[in-house]
Structure 1
């Protein structure tokens, strides 16, 4: 039985005891108690329910504790908490269930078909650090959603048409001819290298041909960078596909049919500000010269996603796209889609710390650190764990020297070491005269405080994953894994595992460590980080 299933059962008992419906018990949750509290979990709902029930929180807690007594040892404590201890049989059953590949799947997620778009960098230069942060965020969330049972398709949108692409072609042509790029063009050394490798026939190319060559080269590099970073997209969607299929025109027609557009001063506008709360002003879709705006093309792309059958569309954008969120939310609503079916996650920029120097970057000026350069320096594992360790809304300073340390100061090393250490313990078992495959009699086991704490920490993984999707951030998982590693070290320092004189206890503790190792490997895997057997 999972912790969430037990929680649902306890909530049901509370509903019966207080004659309440689901909404009144929406705040009923099991939570991990502070370390100094002698309990497996705590319920704070009596405090929230005091106003509704018109009773003191402690009185409600006492009544709730009595209602839960059949399932666990429950105790009411001031000001209105119920601390619970679960039966040993439940702990063993729940730990064994963690071994199932589908143990975290939930009905509400199994009904979801999610399109998750991330990175989607213009093919105008190499991947940079913000690309790595977006890739880590998107790929980790995709893996977590899948673990919860959702069907997820990951997507990279390639903006291969428009003004920026024209500037890229002009910049490459200038470099080929030994000139400086246009004022608003791309200055990076990567274009010098690309220009030096151009064939002789490039002398007769048009600007469009230079742009096409640059896009193909950059896209090849992007795909290689993402593959080396452990990210495999289900689809690389080219913007040119939309235009070839006439999607912008069909989208405009759909908006007109819904009465959401009007004409003014020769241009076509999306009139959402007066009918939708999500937008504060109307936006131009087609300019007075007849050219589509980027906005119309983006709307067409999102309509295409919904037309492909996705129930939820999630975009991950960089901080410079923050102002674009309200208009896209309004556009999705204008197309008749549910407001909750579309979500944008904005992630902040990344600064690089080398020693005491913070390096700031500009892609267009060519002053940036390529993602590949950082991966080559510190490794994919450190990159992904560090990028995942902060919520997307916070700025991230990547400490290069810390990421390279082979010590417990480095959080990814600290977590990976636990996996390797447990592998070593199992390898040494036979030398110590202990059969690592031996079973134990569960009924004879007396669980001590260290063991109980380790067991409960393992069971809280499900909540950590749910917190990740609730907040659209894998940082809850990096925090969980770091705390689990600390729990393991605390347990291992105080409890002998390989004891040939006490085979029953050894077998039981090896069972615990196997669960820890499995959860560490699974958690790291959801972050796209390896779980080494040796370090």
Structure 2
């Protein structure tokens, strides 16, 4: 409903004689600061001052007079240096509470593919993979909820010499020895050595180990509530001749050249990508590099009809971005079609002390271990609560707490409390009814927060981060606690008011459940 209000305000301003003939800026609606007592705040007058060549406060005063005539607006006032504070009518808020629509009326025609996790099948998934999984899966869910065509994919690097190293490492563990120095040293290989079939031939060690680990990763993702549209194997590209096809495409477009008995990609040729050096595509012995296979994979994505490719990458992939941007351009696509998101490291705290981890030494906490210890709900919520470009500290003890200190418990508890209210109301035979006006301040605050749900989802897509949603849910939970402490819900002496507040509670519970669903978090009815 804010979308329509925005249009109504823009129409009112653009048709005003005072602003006629000017190329007016768009109107941006924001929550008003609490001290103003208003519902919305507009900085439009300050943006329009450059065009109208007037004092922004004078423009705000003129605009405020006009906005008082707009349906849904009860009052509008100007504030220095040029803000317009808007008070909405109660009927607008009550109507907004009944509006469950999320999908946008104007949908993007883009077909989006979000690739994430894509960990090498040489060991169990670690905690950083969980952050990428929570980020990617939530973005897929939000895209789909808003009506976008969006698929998810896990790219499995099951080609190359990894299988050989894995085989050598497994063989050593089966024989009771340490793996080679450049092999895999995790304790998981000891467990795999016990599970390996007794009749397994030595030449099949690598393939068996890789398939076992791929299955383990699939199970880890299921436990983490992540379902991929497709698990795409690198070996499929090689079998289909896609790697050679990609090389030929680059050669045709003038981006591949031979030097020192190798084939190189001219990534420095693309000034926008800003790569610092050219990259090898085919080694001197004729073997393609991982980079060429990655180019073939992205070409495959475009060939399947996707026009926006989102890659969620780990913290060590900064150098990968410019070369892949150049590759996308070399394949004949706009670089903007490639959207890289790099998420930073996760530091684990256990009893106040940082957990030391070394993947090379094989000492690390797996995602499954963390999920089993604190639960998928806490993992998903905590991982989603920070922007991808910020490092995060995951406090294991906090994640296990059953108190309001734990943000996911804080939000889930509101959902459970509302359901306990419903149960008590049902015993008395009372059901939700129409919302009564005038609204109490705590009721207004809750309903106003409900209005912002859809814009918050759009902000998640704008910034490619679900942290806006976790913040929103915590703020909504806080407003409900204030409402519950101040406004009596079940009042036998005033059934109309009880029914009104039950409907407000119902809408809050729906919003919390839906928001948690987008984060991959459950919404329990009892706690």
TM range (shorter): over 0.9
Equivalent position SS for 2:131: helix
Contact 1:109 1:145 in 2 (8 A): no
Question: Structure 1 residues 211, 19: closer, same or farther in 2, change over 3 A?
Answer: farther
Q: Distance in 1 between matches of 2:192 and 2:267?
A: 44
8 Å Cα contact 2:25-2:47 kept in structure 1: no
Partner SS for 1:332:
helix
CA displacement at 1:110 relative to structure 2: 4.3
Q: Which residue of 2 aligns with 1:473?
A: 465
State whether residues 114 and 140 of structure 2, in contact with CA within 8 Å, keep that contact through their aligned partners in structure 1: yes
Contact 2:153 2:232 in 1 (8 A): yes
Partner of 2:192: 194
Cα offset, 1:107, TM superposition: 4.6
Q: Please name the residue that 2:94 is paired with.
A: 92
1:279 positional shift: 2.8
CA distance in 2, matches of 1:319, 1:19: 51
Using the TM superposition, give the Cα deviation of residue 434 of structure 1 relative to its aligned residue in structure 2, in angstroms: 5.8
Deviates more, 1:193-202 or 1:449-458: 193-202
Query: How far did residue 168 of structure 1 move?
Result: 1.4
Aligned to 1:450: 442
Task: Give the secondary-structure state (helix, strand or coil) at the position aligned to 2:35.
Answer: coil
Q: Are the counterparts in 2 of residues 110 and 148 from structure 1 also a CA contact under 8 Å?
A: no
Deviation at 1:351, TM superposition (A): 1.4
SS in 1 for 2:29: coil
The superposition leaves residues 456-511 of structure 1 with CA deviations (integer Å, 9 ceiling, x where unpaired) of 01111112111111111111111000000000001111111111111111111111
Partner in structure 1 of residue 5 of structure 2: 6
Determine if the alignment matches structure 1 residue 236 to structure 2 residue 252. Answer: no
Q: For the Cα contact (< 8 Å) 2:115–2:310, is it kept in 1?
A: yes
What is the CA–CA distance in structure 2 between the aligned matches of 1:175 and 1:272, rounded to whole Å?
A: 42
Q: Distance in 2 between matches of 1:10 and 1:166?
A: 65
Structure 2 CA distance for partners of 1:178 and 1:20, relative to 1, 3 Å: farther
Match of 2:405 among 399, 404, 409: 409
Post-superposition Cα deviations, 1:349-376, rounded to whole Å, max 9, x if no partner, equal: 1111111210132223211001111111
In 2, Cα distance between equivalents of 1:414 and 1:473: 21
Which sits farther off after the overlay, 73-82 or 266-275? 266-275
For residues 317 and 213 of structure 1, what CA distance do their matches in structure 2 show? 27
1:424-467: CA deviation from partner (whole Å, max 9, x where unpaired): 01111144x46124x33x5x621121111110011111121111
In structure 2, distance between residues paired with 1:348 and 1:530: 26
Tell me if the contact between 2:237 and 2:297 (Cα under 8 Å) persists in the aligned partners: yes
- Deviation, 1:108, is 4.9
Output aligned runs, 1:434-449, within 5 Å: 435-437=430-432, 439-440=433-434, 445-449=437-441
- Which one of the candidate residues 125, 128, 140 is aligned to 1:127? 125
CA–CA separation in structure 2 for the residues paired with 1:11 and 1:236 = 46
Partner of 2:298: 302
CA–CA distance in structure 2, aligned partners of residues 70 and 118 of structure 1: 49
Contact 2:117–2:312 under 8 Å retained in 1: yes
Aligned to 1:425, the other structure's residue is in SS state helix
Aligned residue number for residue 171 of structure 1: 169
Pairs aligned (count): 521
Candidates 273, 294, 298, aligned match of 1:278: 273
What is the aligned partner in structure 2 of residue 152 from structure 1? Answer: 150
Match of 1:205 among 199, 202, 205: 202
Q: 1:486 aligns to what?
A: 478
Structure 1 pair 221/79, CA: closer, same or farther in 2 (3 Å)? same
Structure-to-structure mapping, 1:52-71, within 5 angstroms: 52-71=51-70
Alignment partner of 2:218 out of 223, 228, 232: 223
Per-residue deviation, 1:5: 2.3
Do the aligned residues in 2 keep the contact of 1:261 with 1:268 (CA within 8 Å)? yes
Aligned to 1:25: 25
Kept after mapping to 2: 8 A contact 1:434/1:499? no
Q: Distance in 1 between matches of 2:93 and 2:197?
A: 67
1:135-184 per-residue CA deviation (whole Å, 9 max, x = no partner) reads 10000111011111111111000001113332112111111122211111
What residue in structure 2 maps to residue 255 of structure 1? 250
State the SS of the aligned residue for 1:8: helix
Could you report, residue by residue, the CA deviation over 1:26-85 in whole angstroms, capped at 9, with x for unpaired residues? 4x2100112222111110121222222211110111222233222212211111000111
Quote the residue 1:420 is aligned against. Answer: 416
Provide closer, same or farther for how the CA distance between residues 108 and 347 of structure 1 changes in structure 2, counting only shifts above 3 A. Answer: farther
Distance 1:19 1:343, change over 3 A: farther
1:524 corresponding residue in structure 2:
516
Q: 1:114 aligns with which of 96, 112, 115?
A: 112
TM-score, structure 1 length as denominator?
0.94
Q: Helix, strand or coil: the match of 2:444?
A: helix
Which of 347, 350, 356 is equivalent to 2:346? 350
5+ residue gaps in structure 1? none
- The answer (yes or no) to whether the contact 2:90–2:437 under 8 Å persists in 1 is no
1:40–1:456 contact (8 Å) kept in structure 2 = yes
Q: Note if contact 1:419-1:531 (Cα within 8 Å) is conserved in structure 2.
A: yes
1:50 and 2:49 equivalent?
yes
Q: Given the alignment of the two structures, is residue 504 of structure 1 paired with residue 496 of structure 2, yes or no?
A: yes
Task: Point out where structure 2 has 5 or more consecutive residues left out of the alignment.
Answer: none
**2:269 match: secondary structure:** coil
